[in-house]
Chain A
Amino acid sequence: MTHWIIAPIVLPAVMAAIIVMSMRHHVLLQRIFSIAGLTAVIAIAAGLAVQASTGVIEVYDLGNWPAPFGIVLVLDRLSAMMVLLTAVLALVVTVYAAGTDWDRRGNHFHALMQFQVMGIMGAFLTGDVFNLFVFFEVLLIASYGLMIHAGGTRRLRAGLQYVVFNLLGSTLFLFALGTIYATTGTLNMADLAVRVSEIPQSDIALIRVGAVLLLTVFAIKAALLPLHFWLPETYAEAPAPVTALFAIMTKVGAYAILRVFTLIFGPDLPDIADVVEPLLLGAALITITIGMIGVLGSNRLGRLAAFAVIGSMGTVFIGMSSFTPETTTATLYYILHSTLSTALLFLTVDMVRERRMGSSDGYASLPAFRQQGLIAALFFAAAIAMAGMPPLSGFVGKLLILKSVWPLPGAGLIWAVILVTSLIAIVGFAQGGSAVFWKTKAPEESAEPADAPAEAAPEPAQGLAFTAAFSLLAGIILLTVFAGPVTSYLSATTGQLYQRQGYVDAVLTGPERVGGDAGYGAKGHGDADDGHGETDTHATEEGH
């Protein structure tokens, strides 16, 4: 029996509690503790990924209640990968925040960060749709706090919009879950998969509404048009380390769509796929277009980066919309790439803001700043990654997606959209980069020392911040260099994803379930036969 699956969720929660309880006045302690904890989480996540790579789907029955009656955590290749990605990103972001003193500019940064990690991990690991909602809320509310960390008028107003929009999203999530539960009578994803596939024709309309509502919920998180409106202001105004962490948040939406619409509402259910796939593809094409046009139409690096995120999510969903193994593999690769690149881009933007007085990331020409060359190089790398230029992973990812959609209907349109928007993005990045990094004023031109308060730009501790940024870059490079092994892992992941009977069996009947049936009998006054009997009854009911 192994309890490691739950560690990525419980460990951050406990760490956050300890930070709040005993070290809320000591930032240095918080940093050490937070970084050490995340390192441990990475180690655990890596172990889980190795475990998952054997292809065995591991199931953890919380409270020792068998699925579908209790909540289960499910570790498969996909969730293991996302967990590891999250852990790595969180560590990098925390290091950056510590290196730039971002964590000192408000209260509870590290605790919120840990809670945020907990929420994201939970969302990736859970095998229960309502529990998914709960973890969405955990990650959202932590993100609200992080988004408005350090305050500031503009940030608070943007934060208010972010919260309001997501409250609407959470409401919608519950509507979707209500509809799905009302139709199927279950919340467990594997059980849902079984029940939805056997749904009588008379309930198809209801389950379709549930599926579409759920899709829109995840689409909000994933910033799919026309539900993306929360993103530009949020990303442009949030503290940079937070935005960098948010790189994984859009992916939570993508992950959820991938999970739910392969497992529960799989592509083999024409009644649902006929609605979902065109919606998704249409939205994705508009998303990438509007995102990349936004890259060109921005006047601030922060906003540019935000729209670049939207564009990259469009790319993700173009890949995802057709639900074939090839496209899904390509999409997964692109998700990995996009997470790291987005984070890098935002850290770079922050480095610029920090060095240009008054947090200005606008395109107006300002005096050159410290370490401009190095930061320009980082920005350049992030930009080519985001725009999908070689030699970084964005290019590889884009090629994978282009190639994988080639056999599908509408490939010509998809290709045209992806390529044309790439060009728009290239031009946009070139404009922004050249305006900020090249078009600098001579310092004496704008020297108005009276107006520039010394404390406005605290001297950042460079080492840690650059370490964080360069480790993201290193990640991108590794992802590119080892694209072969990575894609073969991802192919296997996709294989597992489309082999949904494997998931269903593992959760509902599988031998891998920790503790197994034997454990159940050991409950207080519980009784093995009864519990087992229930399961059996249930199974026979589904049989007819």
Chain B
Amino acid sequence: MLRKLLPHPLLTLTLIIVWQMLVNKLTPGNLLLGLILGLVIPFVTAAYWPNRPRLRNPLAIIEYTAIVIWDIIVANVEVAYIILFKSNANTHPAWVTIPLDLRTPEAITVLAGTITLTPGTVSSDVSACGKALLVHCLDAPDPDAVRDQIKDRYERRLKEIFE
């Protein structure tokens, strides 16, 4: 019953926060309105999100986020360097296959998103069974290193969070 009324508690929480960010004025009325919307919207759209992913270790999210933000900043500088100062001939793009241990779609998505947002990599495709990720690297003289780093730096942590 509660599951039906509150299909995605985390989503509800997110929405309440989003509401506060939108109205930008923390008042009891707004909080109430946010709460109502945060309850109603997931309820109405529950059919589109049939299964609820489990979060084993929510606190690990914070650490993960911090790492990603740092990596993003670094990524941007690196990419800017490549664009501005590296000749095209000296740049070595490469495709990399990342075998996946993750099984939840949500986790895979977060991993793929992270890859795209971080240094010189874009997650370009998944295998038809969902057990491998295709990543394109802007400049990767050593593709295997990229694969290992991704698996170690991101996938491991995500595995902890989700599975």
Direct contact of A and B (CB under 8 A): no
Which residues of A approach B to under 8 Å, CB–CB? Answer: none
Which residues of B approach A to under 8 Å, CB–CB? Answer: none
